[in-house]
Amino acid sequence: MTYRVIQWSTGNVGHHATRLIANHPELELVGLWVHSPDKVGKDAGELVGIEPLGVAATNDIDELLSLGADCVCYTATADLRPTEAIDDMARILASGTNVVSSSVVPLIYPGHLALDMRRPLEDACIEGGTSCFTSGIDPGFANDLLPLVLTGTCEYVDTVRVMEIVNYDTYAQPEVLFGTMGFGQSLEDTPLLLTPGVLSFAWGGVVKAIAAGLGVEVTELREVHERVPATERLDLGFGVIEVGTTAGIRFEVQGIVNGEAKIILEHVTRLHDDIAPDWPQPAGLSGYRVIVTGNPNYTLDLQMMGDDGDHNTAGLVGTAGRIVNSIPAVCAAKPGLLSVLDLPLVSGQGTMRS
């Protein structure tokens, strides 16, 4: 069966998702939504650097929804506009089109999202008879699927820690790095990311998904963080970090079970490999680590590299790949908001090159 898919945005993730949809043997790209008027009318393939696909980009939502596609791959950035993104997705779902997305990250585990934000999506799924799945790499498969697979082999589990250990020096999203995360700001400033409650909003769903997979309840989410300054000027090519301003961030979202921190989401983010040498280091290349204490004890290190030689590209492709390859399973799923616990194993069906 071939699933007809609309790609929503051509940003950092959408750029790769468009290419993955075009190359997937079970998917057909039938529409492309773009935000910039300068992109309207241009061929989807040309916009993402591949051969023309015969699909013209548009910003006309009614035109796209009239196509009767099976699924929309929604990757428009939603960090600063979650309500708008939810409104978009609800409109799509109510029209009878399923959604896979990397945008509103609390939806990794739908029950984590506040009811007033979740209800429009639930109602839209009922109205349209559709399903909605949110994932990526982080939040996503690196810190929900992988730990659940490991715990599924244990006699007992004491704690689960999932970590991102990544150098962001090639992550060319200035608004995210400097605005949201606060790199290059004074250590006395409080960026959006470290405003109380924001870490739990964004990553608490990961903690709760793991808890649900283990059959336990998280009664509280606790946040801790620390920052370190740059000791030398760092020119990233898309921004400069001056000496004394934030160049490294480490944070945890701790899931409290029976009074103890049992499930911990941790990020160790640097803008240079030499920053904070005492913080956890990757096994080699930047990537992810899952630590399960129990019987057996497990430490799983996932290193990543894109085909352009950049680890941050790998993260973007992995994010796109997780949701694009999930489209057949999501289209076949029961209507409603889905988590990793609701889908069968999603493999790279049809992706092996000859």
* Cβ partners under 8 Å of residue 87, min gap 6: 120
**Distance between CA atoms of residues 324 and 21, nearest Å:** 7
- Inter-residue contact 340 to 209 (CB < 8 Å): yes
DSSP summary character for residue 140: B
pLDDT of residue 353: 87
For residue 337, the cross-strand partners are: 132
SS3 348: coil
Residue 141, CA distances (Å) to 136, 159, 318, 347 in order: 6, 19, 9, 12
For residue 61, what are its two tokens? Answer: 């939502």
* Series of mean pLDDT values for 10-residue runs along the chain (354 residues): 97 97 97 96 97 97 97 94 97 98 98 97 98 98 98 98 97 93 97 97 98 98 98 96 98 98 98 97 96 98 97 97 98 98 95 89
pLDDT of residue 23: 96
**Distance between CA atoms of residues 182 and 324, nearest Å:** 31
pLDDT of residue 117: 96
pLDDT of residue 80: 86
* Cβ partners under 8 Å of residue 77, min gap 6: 9, 11, 103
For residue 352, what are its two tokens? Answer: 């092996």
- Inter-residue contact 300 to 197 (CB < 8 Å): no
Domains and CATH numbers, the chain: 3-135+326-342 (3.40.50.720), 145-308 (3.30.360)
pLDDT of residue 79: 87
